[in-house]
């Protein structure tokens, strides 16, 4: 009897459970259906908006290149050298030389000796072997007044301040002045009596002739060694001619 009732009881239990489950679902809202296309469209729109905002910010952040200023060259002022007016310059008269002894002359005060513009005059005074020093004018003081064409002899006292003897090959040489081309009137040490040992003094002279034209004249001499080297002090003559040749 017990076994016959068991299948019926099981079936009844299952039916009761089904009714209970059905009653629970009555009144519940249905599950919505997901639209895949709408979701994709929203994702694409959001991505485009983000890229657009990013590009806009990048464009605003790029700095503007400012041109580098260039140096403008400035012109320098031009300076003009003054022009020397030589319209009033008068040519210096010439002076002639000969071997005739001169006459007594009258000195004129106020003359000062100046160095001639000559390459020889620009050399150093000398060295330990060759050097000289002027000591005195023996004749024709600076500024002496002579007649035009007058013969005279200019003598200087010169000391050998070097250690080498002034012997053959040495000379007192004309280096410039009012008259060019006066080398033949140099004083040359040819005789042994003319030689000047180191430390000694000698009176050395040249015979000259005053120019005929009135004016002031000058001449300059310097010692020259046997090797052609100019050395020592420069000796000079300064004269003035007031009366022209008759």
Ordered by start, the domain boundaries in the chain are 131-243
**Binning pLDDT at 50, 70 and 90, where does residue 207 land?**
confident
pLDDT score recorded for residue 189: 94
- Highest average pLDDT, of 22-36, 77-91, 98-112, 132-146, comes from 132-146
Is pLDDT of 153 > 60?
yes
**Binning pLDDT at 50, 70 and 90, where does residue 41 land?**
low
Is pLDDT of 31 > 90?
no
Q: Does domain 131-243 have CATH number 2.60.40.10?
A: yes
Is pLDDT of 105 > 70?
no
pLDDT, average across residues 78-101? 55
Residue pair 152/103 in contact by the 8 Å Cβ criterion:
yes
């Amino acid at each position: 009897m017990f076994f016959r009732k068991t299948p019926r009881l099981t079936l009844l239990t299952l039916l009761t459970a089904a009714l209970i489950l059905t009653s629970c679902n009555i009144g519940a809202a249905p599950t919505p259906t997901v639209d895949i296309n709408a979701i994709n469209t929203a994702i694409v729109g959001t991505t485009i908006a983000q890229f657009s905002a990013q590009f806009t910010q990048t464009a605003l952040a790029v700095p503007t290149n400012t041109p580098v200023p260039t140096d403008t060259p400035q012109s320098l002022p031009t300076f003009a050298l003054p022009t020397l007016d030589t319209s009033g310059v008068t040519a210096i008269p010439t002076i002639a030389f000969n071997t005739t002894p001169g006459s007594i002359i009258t000195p004129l005060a106020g003359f000062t000796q100046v160095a001639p513009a000559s390459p020889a005059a620009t050399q150093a005074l000398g060295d330990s072997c060759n050097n000289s020093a002027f000591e005195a004018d023996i004749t024709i003081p600076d500024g002496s007044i002579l007649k035009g064409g007058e013969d005279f002899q200019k003598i200087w006292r010169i000391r050998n301040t070097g250690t080498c003897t002034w012997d053959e090959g040495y000379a007192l040489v004309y280096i410039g002045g009012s008259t060019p081309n006066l080398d033949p009137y140099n004083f040359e040490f040819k005789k042994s009596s003319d030689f000047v040992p180191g430390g000694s003094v000698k009176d050395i002279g040249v015979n000259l002739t005053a120019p005929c034209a009135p004016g002031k004249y000058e001449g300059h001499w310097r010692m020259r060694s046997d090797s052609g080297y100019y050395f020592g002090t420069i000796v000079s003559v300064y004269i003035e001619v007031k009366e022209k040749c008759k």
